[in-house]
Structure 1
Amino acid sequence: MAFSGLQRGLTAPVRGWRRSLRFRTVVMSILLTTLLSVVLGVTLYQNIGERLLRQRVDLAVAESSLAVGRGQAQFDALERSDASTLYATATDVVRESSSPGEDLSRRVALVRSLENTEGLAPVERPYADVNQAPHALRAALQEDPEHLQSMVTTAHDPDGGMSPVVLVGARVEIPGVGPHDMLFFHSLGAEQRTLDIVRSSFALGGLGLTLIAGLVTMVITHAVLDPLSRVSTTAREIAAGQLGRRTGMRGHDELARLGRAVDTMADVTERQIVELQDLSQLQQRFVSDVSHELRTPLTTIRMAAEVLHMQRDDFSSASARSAELLHGEVERFEQLLGDLLEISRQDAGQVELHREPVDLADLATRVVDGCRPLAGQNGVELRMDLPTDPAESTAEVEGRRVERILRNLVTNAIDHAEGQPVVIRVVGDADGVAVAVADSGIGLTPEQRERVFDRFWRADPARTRSAGGTGLGLSICEADAREHGGWLQVQSEPGEGAVFRLSLPRRAGERLIASALPLPAPHPGDDEAARRVEEKR
């Protein structure tokens, strides 16, 4: 639980780091300023500490030297050398050499040297315990009694703890009892307090510097990134279709020039899109008008072609053949007009679906039965794999349009099957129904897969088609599938045939997330197909 809480806590900063240049800039500025403050503070703190310590050691040695000189003079001036006189004098020397009153900055002790076994008993001021003097210092005095010896160590303080001190040792000669060591405990409390103040000042200064750096960075990034954000927002709005959006930026700097360049580009793009829309509408209207206008003469031509076709047995062989060709081309022309009218309605957004519950398995059976004569002419076997429960394959669709999709897919599969079987499979799940039509023919290359739903495009224009065609069938099928909220996909490899899969939502108005029938790669994924449907709505 704690780990999941930590993950949730890190989600927002990680998302901000990935998505926001401003956030990254401010965080990096704060981190670099903090690092610089820490490095500079530590370096200065160490230098100040070392300098204070050197000064305190030099001062401690100088004060100790003066005190030793005064003490040695007192011992040399004694006229009597009895034990009580010597001890009293030693006590006076220790007291006078220590700090006066309650000041414990310098405490002194007098103890016989290491090589002296008959000297005076130790004389100590409070918190000047000779037992805390390191043996190394006293050994150094034994080796070099002519010079003062010093070191930094720790000793008891009035608070009951241990605090750092400068310990200075010096040799004095006491008449009649031999050499003794004077030990000076110089407190480093003042220097430690100074270092504490320096450390606090550096910490507060570093924190203030970091905050100032963060604020300055925020101001700078605001001044720089806000215009860029405005440009980015305007570009996204234009891409979303709001062609009238502009940055409205003024000025003469680089960002203002960028904003004006985007506005100029948007003006040019808007004009071109409007021109293309006008041209597209003109084209759609032309196709629709021409298609409608050709209906009347086509009807007359079809009636005449029907009469000639029915009486072809009374003609010569050449005339009979011409009548058959005329009849076939009139049918193809009529199909082309129908496809053009359907395309124009789809482009104009005038398609209205009349949905009702339809059993797609039953619909596929009717389509297959209607295509069996064509399959027989091409030596192609049609196989079906259908669910046993009609409820599994029932969806709310417009039966006429879905039947047109399936008929196009089956006739295309027959035409490209190369005499191999064609398999039609229907599968349903809780969200939708899918129909797959698979052949084992010549297949499609990756480039052909990308264009298979383009208008008037054919994989092989020179190929002889047994069922005719206008080059609009798959484009209309793909648009019909999209109108239903589903999609039409193809999977194919050269020499391995092709699988066309129609996926439809089970209920009207529902968004299809995934197909009920897996389609082997390579093909556009279900999420990509769903995204395309949403974009084209």
Structure 2
Amino acid sequence: MPRLWARSLLIRAVFFTGLLTMLSTMAVAAFLVQQVTSGLFQERFDQAEQEAAVGLDSIRSSFAALSTTSRSEAQQDVLSILNEVDNSTAQIQREFSLQPLEVGENLYVDGITSPGLSAQDISEELDEAVAGGTGQYWQAVSLERNGASEVPGVAFGTQVDIQGNPYALYFVYDFSPVQENVAFVFRTMLVAGIAILLINMAIAGWVARSVVRPVSQAAEVSERIADGQLDQRLAVRGEDEIARLGLSFNRMASNLQEQITRLANLSKMQQRFVSDVSHELRTPLTTVRMAAEVLHESRDDFDPINRRSTELLHHQVERFQALLADLLEMSRFDAGAAELATAEVDLLALTREVLISSKPLAESSNTPLGLVVQGENFIAEVDARRISRILRNLINNAIEHAEARPVDVIVSSSPTAVGIAVRDHGIGMSPSEVAHVFDRFWRADPARARTTGGSGLGLSIATEDTRLHQGALDAWGQKGQGSCFRLVLPRRQSVPYRASPMALPPVYRATDRYRIENIQDLDVEEPEHDRINEQALYQPKRGEA
């Protein structure tokens, strides 16, 4: 559900439209219900108040005119007056109650109450107000109906005199019809609100769908174009904003197709040119190399100037031949002709061999070499020649840029992969340099003045070799802290690895390092060690990570 919410603009538009509609409808309905309720109750109250005033005054006058001295006649006359006034002046359903304010033996009339009314319906507060004054008083009350439910009502009361005895006379009006009208209005508004909510959500869904559908189609076409189907276009209908968007999109796609096609043709021409030139140069270069070797072997017979020229010629021919070999290898990658010759290889043993072969270069630059082993069982299905070329390139580059600081090779393993990292502590790389380090012919040193500086194709070739193995080659660097290249290879070409067996940069302990002098005696089966952040090895003041 959260994924659907994040991916669907239509659902979000319908939801927020419904939410805002519901909130606004509730606010309007609450205001209208309050206004209708107040109006209905006020109208009914004014009518009841007017009727109560007329009825109470009429009964007071009638009671004052009573002259009987018989208790039974007085009781009958009072009841007759109450019923007569109630029937003649009441337009709203009401009950009455007549209660003596004083208790004594000379009372002519006992308390009289309508059948639907009880003495508890009149509050003590209203009783006290009527007993203490001669005016007309009122109070909102709750009336019990059917023994359980309560309905709103209003009680009006005043003090009357019967044969010299004070009585409290009450008219109680039932406001349940008003409450029923309010409930009806509320139900009507509720139904209307739900209908408005559903209609607005339907309208919002239709509008959002009308807008989102072209956008979704544009997204689908964009994905197909990204997959290489450059001839895909949007269907344009009408002349509105969506139609103009579709026209602009199609125009952009056409321009992209033209540019990509032109660049692809140019790239094919460049690749063909490099391949043709590389192949054409092989024969004359072989001849030049043979002549350079003859001169180089006879250099002792030359004078110092010619001897130096012979050595320079031999060295440059070797570099030219290495560049030509790299160009031929890249042309094979571009043509899709590169293939793997895989076998079960012990990558730890292969790493040791490459380290030993790099020992002369490391000694010439006073760079300490070290090997760190983490885990066990480093057997993987790889092309030993290509992996050896990758490691040789990474280690030689690390020696070149280490500035006589230690270079460590870390070998680690997991159930599905083997990882090899080459870590130096030299000049390092900035994030922008890391982003371009695998580009063809890219050099971190613009001066190109380093001892082992090559063609700039070494890491590109390493990347292609890694891709053939279904592996990953990643780089990390920080200025002043060095660089690290991590190679991760699956144990089986048919089984992708789940995760890298080491971090980038890797972490290990200083005592885990084997110097190059001891690499020949290294046992492959190493116990696991506690590891620390590798950056701390050569920065003891900063402590362990």
* TM-score in same-fold range (> 0.5): yes
Asked if 1:433 is matched to 2:421, the reply is no
CA distance in 1, matches of 2:335, 2:480: 39
Q: Which residue of 2 aligns with 1:289?
A: 276
Counterpart CA distance in 2 for 1:52 and 1:180 is 32
Change (3 A) 1:46 1:344: same
Superposition map of 1:381-460 within 5 A:
381-386=368-373, 389=376, 392-460=377-445
Question: TM-score, with normalisation over the residues of structure 1?
Answer: 0.87
Q: Against the structure 1 CA distance between its residues 250 and 413, is the aligned structure 2 distance closer, same or farther, given a 3 Å change threshold?
A: same
Supply the distance in 2 between the matched residues of 1:83 and 1:253 (Cα, whole angstroms): 95
The residue correspondences of 1:294-313 to structure 2 (distance < 5 A) are: 294-313=281-300
What secondary structure is seen at the aligned counterpart in 2 of 1:23? helix
The code of the aligned residue for 1:239 comes to: A
**Closer/same/farther in 2, CA of residues 379 and 165 from structure 1, 3 Å limit:** closer
Q: CA deviation at 1:296?
A: 1.5
Superposition deviation, residue 252 in structure 1: 1.1
Partner amino acid, structure 2, of 1:87: Q
Equivalence for 2:17: 29
CA 1:465 to 1:42, structure 2 compared with 1: closer, same or farther past 3 Å?
closer
Paired residue secondary structure (1:164): strand
In the alignment, the residues of structure 1 paired with residue 361 and residue 186 of structure 2 have an alpha-carbon distance, to the nearest angstrom, of 94
Partner residue of 1:261 out of 248, 252, 255: 248
- Map Cα deviations across residues 415-439 of structure 1 (whole Å, 9 max, x no partner): 2232333322211111211112223
Tell me, what secondary structure is at the counterpart of 1:374?
helix
Q: 2:463 corresponds to which letter in structure 1?
A: E
Matches of 1:78 and 1:87 in 2, distance apart?
Answer: 11
Which secondary structure state, in structure 1, belongs to the residue aligned with residue 492 of structure 2? Answer: coil
Alignment correspondent of 1:534: none
User: For 2:460, what is the secondary structure of its paired residue?
Assistant: helix
Matched, 1:474 2:463: no
Q: For 1:47-58, what aligned pairs fall within 5 Å after superposition?
A: 47-58=35-46
Q: Which amino acid aligns with 1:357?
A: E
Instruction: Name which of 479, 499, 503 aligns with 1:518.
Output: 503
The separation in 2 between residues aligned to 1:50 and 1:83, in whole angstroms, is: 46
Per-residue CA deviations over 1:128-160 (Å, capped at 9, x if unaligned) read: 223421233233333442x43222111222344
Q: Which runs of 5+ in 2 are unaligned?
A: 508-545
Per-residue CA deviation, residues 35-88 of structure 1 (Å, 9 max, x unaligned), is 121111111111111222122222223333343355345445545222111111
Change (3 A) 1:411 1:520: closer
Q: Distance in 1 between matches of 2:105 and 2:438?
A: 113
d(CA) in 2 for partners of 1:80, 1:137:
30
1:164 maps to: 152
Q: Provide the residue aligned with 1:465 in structure 2.
A: 450
Task: Give, in whole Å, the separation in 2 of the partners of 1:162 and 1:454.
Answer: 86
Is the aligned partner of 1:93 residue 2:81? yes
In the TM superposition, residue 240 of structure 1 has moved relative to its aligned partner by: 3.2
CA distance in 1, matches of 2:104, 2:340: 119
> What is the letter of the counterpart of residue 162 of structure 1?
E
Is the partner of 1:259 in helix, strand or coil? helix
**Alignment partner, residue 485 of structure 1:** 470
Contact 2:421 2:506 in 1 (8 A): no
**Distance in 2 between residues matched to 1:320 and 1:348, nearest whole Å:** 42
More deviation in 25-34 or 14-23? 14-23
Tell me the equivalent position of 1:108: 96
TM-score normalised to the size of structure 2?
Answer: 0.86
Residue 363 (structure 1) shift: 0.9
Whole-angstrom CA distance in 2 between matches of 1:447 and 1:69: 100
Of structures 1 and 2, the one with the larger relative CO (CA 8 A, separation 6+) is 2
Q: Distance in 2 between matches of 1:77 and 1:336?
A: 135
Per-residue CA deviation, residues 155-198 of structure 1 (Å, 9 max, x unaligned), is 22234433221211133332x24232221121112111111111
Post-superposition offset of 1:284: 0.6
Kept in 2: contact 1:26–1:214 (CA 8 A):
yes
Distance 1:78 1:316, change over 3 A: closer
SS in 1 for 2:454: coil
1:151 aligns with 2:131: no
Q: Any conservation in 2 of the 1:234–1:246 contact (CA below 8 Å)?
A: yes
Structure 1 unmatched ranges of 5 or more: 1-11, 523-537
**Pair 71,422 (structure 1): closer, same or farther in 2 beyond 3 Å:** closer
Percent identity between the two aligned chains: 38
- The within-5 A match list for 1:276-355 is 276-355=263-342
- What count of residue pairs does the alignment treat as equivalent? 504
Q: How many Å apart are 1:468 and its aligned residue?
A: 4.8
For residues 76-91 of structure 1, the aligned pairs below 5 Å read 76-91=64-79
For the 8 Å contact 1:25–1:217, the answer to whether it is kept is yes
| Amino acid corresponding to residue 118 of structure 2 in structure 1 | D
Measure, in 2, the Cα distance between the counterparts of 1:61 and 1:118.
33
